[in-house]
Structure 1
């Protein structure tokens, strides 16, 4: 049940972070938890999977850009507990209002996700992986747009 509260806590921590790399890690964690929430609310995982891949693709581009800008910059983690502790207390008070039937429905959604009907999806995943490997082999490593080699 606390999985609903984690994105709010991560948002509170996000305000206090001051280094771009920590901000990226926080955004990635928020993306993972938001996709888990979408997967639990909907009974299908394809939407959350595609949402995660799109977010992760955009974050990879931002990560490369930020690493090139702030590669040698030192950072200190400074978290202001004046805002986080009341938020945690508030979240635990709110989470006590949920019933156990909602937790049972989340467990049923998880077992439904891991049922035999999801096996054909794994074939599509294998086909997509093979296609990705073929495309990478065809394009070549030296001719990519990210880094040009000197000859």
Structure 2
């Protein structure tokens, strides 16, 4: 399963380089974010960390989406040529077949092992918690205050009537 997500991420990275329209780029970016957050969730004990990262990244992409649509609102959406489309479909199908063939849980040597005996590494959730321990508490507090100060400065220096966004009619 992890190999399938990795191959899909690679395919979407190649597709990202071929696209030109900002809306299609944003869509591919959101799909890649979903794949990476699911992949991160598989390595953790729970999905809360990957969910929080996905929500933060999605908020940033939505801000970029609003900005780009206000700048390039009249740009026509160009479609992928049928040859490129067939290449990407065949690459996706090949990656699915390869990942299903190489999945270790589908191999005969793993089919007799019960799921309860597979060693689950319970220390993985604690990898994230090193940010919030006592030794790094002041650094984390500094980063939070720095981001808050940066937000306040950006809001203060931005003029609403001369900003980069034009009015939506």
TM-score (norm 2): 0.53
1:21 alignment partner in structure 2: 23
Q: How does 1:1-151 map to 2 (within 5 A)?
A: 1=1, 2-79=4-81, 80-81=84-85, 84=88, 85-86=90-91, 88-90=93-95, 92-100=97-105
36-45 or 22-31, which deviates more: 36-45
Instruction: Provide the alpha-carbon RMSD of the alignment.
Output: 3.0
List per-residue Cα deviations over 1:35-74 (Å, max 9, x = no partner): 1111112111121011111111111110111010111111
Contact 1:14 1:23 in 2 (8 A): yes
Query: 5+ residue gaps in structure 1?
Result: 106-144
Figure out how many residues of one structure are paired with residues of the other and give that number. 109
Verify the 8 A CA contact 2:11 2:91 in the aligned structure 1: no
Moved over 6 A (4+): 145-149
Cα 1:146–1:71 change in 2 (3 A) is farther
Contact 2:34 2:54 in 1 (8 A): yes
What whole-Å deviation, never above 9, does each CA across 1:57-107 have from its counterpart, x for those lacking one? 1111101110101111111221525753356425522441112269x97xx
Q: 1:52 to 1:90 in 2, by over 3 A?
A: closer
Larger Rg over CA atoms: 2
Structure 2, unmatched stretches of 5+, are: 116-157, 162-166
